[in-house]
Amino acid sequence: MDNLKIVKKLKAARKNLLKEVGQVIIGQQDILEHLFMALLCRGHVLLEGVPGLAKTLIIKTLADTLDLSFSRIQFTPDLMPSDITGTEIIQETGGGNRDFKFYKGPIFAHIILADEINRTPPKTQAALLEAMEEHRVTAAGTTYVLEEPFFVMATQNPIEQEGTYPLPEAQLDRFMFHLRIQYPNREEEVRLVNLTTGTAVPETKHTISRDDILQFRGLVREIPVADNVTDFAVDLVRRSRPGQNGQPDFIGEWVEWGAGPRASQYLILGAKVRAALDGRPTPDISDVTALVKPVMRHRIITNFNAEAEGVDTDDILDQLLASMG
């Protein structure tokens, strides 16, 4: 099948996916789109939002609709790395002999929900983040390759920060997107209440197979990108770094550290998928600009001046985009 036919197939698959998920999830289409985009880019997502906004239901419904295995890990202060990756247990093998057998942990699934990842110590966070980066797990000297597709959605609660362990910048950089889930509007909330307080239980059908997802992933790498689109993404990211030639004055005033090269890579990968989901054979600059905040908001470290003036990374990114002309 040629790439144009795969693009058409992907566009139709996106429509069917959103229709099915929409039977269970009211609103939040932007979140669903970004989750699907990250899955196709071999990226992962950090989702931030207050309790009760259906973060768990969103990712569980997505896994069901895609016919992929799902695992939820509730991160707590006493969670150990082996609780994620798995552990070896001594068992009888017959004849009075004993041997170790490895029992796989919840990380061995296609889609992982890492719930409240900032509530567990760094050593346990690192066990998950290593699997995210390498797509494999090492236990007792043996390496186990995780089955593709492998996708992690980690959540953070923006309130109740006591006793949490914020993710270091180097670990935040491993997430393709940092998304912020918002409250539903009034119409969506009315529909949500009616849906969840009645007797009807909506069910979803499988719309996209695992083989389809792997095919779509291969397509992403083959989508061509014009030089001016790549140049725009790279120049934008470089302008976020203090001390770079041509940086805007507000970057030096408010930013301690700018985004690294991984931001440029994810902007282009995301732009490719965004174009393909829309049925277009190649992305343009508008695809890049649409992804600037989810890709870069967790890769820019603000300084004391920004905090004192109440300026956050989204404010900086708005000005950065405006400075591009």
* Phi, psi (rounded to 5 degrees) for 149: -75, 145
Query: Computed from CA positions of residues 44, 47, 51, 57, in that sequence, does the dihedral angle turn out positive or negative?
Result: negative
Dist. CA 220–CA 218, nearest whole Å: 5
Whether 116 has a pLDDT exceeding 80, the answer reads yes
Q: What's the pLDDT at 40?
A: 94
Cβ-Cβ contacts under 8 Å for 146 (sequence gap 6 or more): 107, 108, 131, 135, 136, 137
Q: What's the pLDDT at 244?
A: 78
Whether 1 has a pLDDT exceeding 70, the answer reads no
Dist. CA 116–CA 111, nearest whole Å: 16
Whether 176 has a pLDDT exceeding 80, the answer reads yes
- Per-residue pLDDT, averaged over 182-192, amounts to 84
- CATH of 223-325, picked from 1.10.8.80, 3.40.50.880, 3.40.50.300, 3.40.50.1000, is 1.10.8.80
pLDDT digits (tens, 9 = 90+) for 260-277: 999 999 999 999 999 999
Dist. CA 272–CA 266, nearest whole Å: 10
Confidence of residue 166 (pLDDT cuts 50, 70, 90): confident
Dist. CA 189–CA 195, nearest whole Å: 10
Q: What's the pLDDT at 192?
A: 80
Q: Which of 84-98, 202-216, 254-268, 275-289 has the lowest mean pLDDT?
A: 84-98
Whether 179 has a pLDDT exceeding 70, the answer reads yes
Whether 220 has a pLDDT exceeding 60, the answer reads yes
Find the angle CA(226)-CA(9)-CA(208) to the nearest 5 degrees: 120
Confidence of residue 163 (pLDDT cuts 50, 70, 90): low
Asked whether the bond before 158 is cis by omega within 30 degrees of 0, the reply is no
Q: What's the pLDDT at 322?
A: 94
Q: What's the pLDDT at 162?
A: 63
CA 209 to chain CA mean position, Å: 20
Percent of residues, the chain, with pLDDT higher than 70: 96
Cβ-Cβ contacts under 8 Å for 225 (sequence gap 6 or more): 268, 271, 272, 282, 283
Q: What's the pLDDT at 33?
A: 92
- Per-residue pLDDT, averaged over 80-85, amounts to 89
